[in-house]
Structure 1
Amino acid sequence: RLKAQLQTSNIELQLLDAQNNYSIANINMDLLLGLPETTILKVDEDYINEISENQPVSYYLSQALQNRKDLQALDYQRKAANLGTKAAKAENLPILAITGGYVAADIPGFVTITNAINIGLGVSYNLDNLWKKNSSLLKSQAREKQLEANNELLNDHIKLELNKDFQNSNLAKKKIEVYERALEQATENYRITKNKYDNGLANITDLLEADAALVGAKVNVINSRADAALAYKKLLQTSGILNQ
């Protein structure tokens, strides 16, 4: 009896922890969605069943390169820096200017001009550019190199994170198979122990232990499915598919 009470107490403690974690998660989600903190969110019971077979890791990598907003933002920054470099280079080039004008004058006894149009083409160059460094060009080129390095670093980070999430997702799915086999074994063990107990070949302690093992196996299967669903969603988030 004391052993059964101890097992019951352990299960009650696990239930309290689960309820506490649920309450914290509910508040965090309310804050994330901008809802009042007292809003009760209903859990999607089909969430743990939304697990699909993984595509090859190359598929998720290509999706990440297309969909990741941080990569797209960095690409726009690189294009802007490239335009800045071109503009800075233009400062060292001669300036070509086309001028035009219209003249009409009437000076009595001297000259009369009507409908006179003049057009000219001029070239100017700042001789200071011959010995002065173009600071704008140097800054823009340094900015381009910095963004290029950031792009390589971000790509490496995405590849590492993507492969990690891909492996975690596969591992989580394999764990489901292991826990399901353990559930089959616990079910058979409980059936045999219950049969022995009914025939006076096992005591109540053996039956309680078999029952507790069966309950634990069922919980492990549910937890493994939830972990697998979470790992799969994390993989989709890293590849940018989830945001689409």
Structure 2
Amino acid sequence: MNIITKLKTISMFVTGFVLPLAVSAQEAKHLELNQAVNIAVKNNNNIQIAELDRKVANANYHQTDAIFLPQVSVGYTALTTNNPLNAFGFLLQQESVAAADFDPSKLNNPGATQNYGASVDVKMPLVNLGLIYARKAAKKQDEVYKYKAAYMKDYISFEVQKAYTQLQFAYQAREILSRTLVDVKQIHQSVENFYNKGLVQKSDVLNAQVQVNTIESALAKAESNIANASDGLNLLMNGGDDSKSQLYITDSLEQKSNLEVSPEFSMNRSDVMAMQSALDASKAMVKSSAMNFLPKINAFGSYQLNDSKIFKFQNDSYLAGINLSWTIFSGNQNRSKVRSAIFQRDKMKREVDDYIDKSKLEVNKTARDIQDLNIEIRKQQSSVEHAYEALRITNNRYKEGLASTTDLLTSQAQLSQQQLGLAQAVMTYNITRYYQELLTTIK
């Protein structure tokens, strides 16, 4: 790898980790990881949307309370007619029929007759097994959104941990590049002094200047990445006015303590429980559709007040009864609903099984990734030590005239590359550990 390729590699290390956002001048604010997570759990829009979905599902479930509770309605009706049958019926409802009302001429030509009636109607379901199982399905659907809301909190917490770690890396990259820039400028100054004495070629000075320019460019990108990562973290925390960028200062990037975390997959994980509840809901809907073949029994009642004058409430009457209805054939509608519900249940069962299998694979893969990253970090630490020693030896040889300027610049670039590689490995390890916690969290 030549010197130019190494410099390009250094620049690539400090870009591409966060989504670019608009950046403006801002005041830095120190933020701890736990503080960021707590703010996000409280304010994040996705979590609030999940909570609203849960409340909607709960409200939908309580709509099924109508299965056990009566429906009561109150009405007031004003009628007028000259129809002989209806007119005589009004008299009966008003309990005002007299002998003169049976006069054939009056019966046939009653004239305009009014009736003003107030009524209270009650309907009460007694037996409806289809609605009972539909209520059970609604209850399971309520549980689905409860578990989804819980998982959303866990997921947003992970996203905050990930964004915070990326911001830590951005600061670490800036620190490494700042130190590198100081060293490279010293090399450049030394090469210029040697050139003025006629000890080195003009190309050596130009190579040193190229490396200074490259490190300065990478350092500028590192500064932008700090602002970008801060904006991304602020978005997760729903930190306020989007037109104003908030720059956050983090704790230093260090490898997360290697505590034992059980890599075992658990069926009690929130997202898995949501899938299981959705499957239970689909099973209940199958039973609900099947129960529509059975008869339904409902009670009903009505209490009425009728009078020939408006806003008079006399001459009461009531009507009460029980209704049994049984739809023997519905044009294959019920049969098709049962088949559709069965297919939905089978589809959901396969989706749950597939989700569980993929989750188990992800848990196992993450455990192996952590092992690999532990090895990578140890190798990078060793490489940094070797790069330090190589730079020291090359610098001494350069002072004695036994190494070229290109050799010295290459050693310096190699050290920066290994330092950034170590920081990146630590960042990836920490993010992977947070992801493992997400995969193995049981709520």
Q: TM-score, normalised by structure 1?
A: 0.70
Q: Deviations over 1:78-115 (max 9, x none)?
A: 22222222233333346799xxxxxxxxxxxxxxxxxx
2:252 pairs with 1:45: yes
2:332 pairs with 1:128: no
Aligned residues: 212
Tell me the equivalent position of 1:104. none
Q: 2:373 aligns with which of 168, 172, 190?
A: 172
- 1:89-108 matches, within 5 Å, as 89-93=290-294
Alpha-carbon separation, structure 1, partners of 2:415 and 2:330: 86
2:282 pairs with 1:84: no
Tell me the equivalent position of 2:395. 194
Alpha-carbon separation, structure 2, partners of 1:127 and 1:2: 93
Contact 1:68 1:240 in 2 (8 A): no
Tell me the equivalent position of 1:26. 230
| SS of residue in 2 equivalent to 1:187 | helix
Q: Deviations over 1:3-41 (max 9, x none)?
A: 221112221222222222222222222222111342222
1:53 Cα deviation after fit: 5.3
1:148 Cα deviation after fit: 0.8
Alpha-carbon separation, structure 2, partners of 1:145 and 1:43: 49
Q: 1:68 aligns with which of 240, 263, 270?
A: 270
Alpha-carbon separation, structure 2, partners of 1:39 and 1:84: 50
Worse-matched range after superposition: 153-162 or 27-36 = 153-162
**Overall identity of the aligned pairs, in %:** 21
TM-aligned CA distance change 1:92 to 1:198, over 3 Å: same
Alpha-carbon separation, structure 2, partners of 1:127 and 1:67: 43
Amino acid in the other structure paired with 2:371 = N
| SS of residue in 1 equivalent to 2:247 | coil
Name the Cα RMSD after superposition.
Answer: 3.3
Contact 1:169 1:228 in 2 (8 A): yes
Would you tell me which structure has more helix in proportion to its own residues? Answer: 1
TM-aligned CA distance change 1:140 to 1:9, over 3 Å: same
Q: Deviations over 1:125-162 (max 9, x none)?
A: 84826996634432322221121122122223323433
Tell me the equivalent position of 1:148. 349
Q: Deviations over 1:155-202 (max 9, x none)?
A: 233234334433333332222122112112112212323343455544
Alpha-carbon separation, structure 2, partners of 1:195 and 1:54: 45
TM-aligned CA distance change 1:126 to 1:184, over 3 Å: same
Contact 2:227 2:247 in 1 (8 A): no
Contact 2:380 2:421 in 1 (8 A): yes
Amino acid in the other structure paired with 1:66 = N
1:209 Cα deviation after fit: 3.5
Contact 1:93 1:125 in 2 (8 A): no
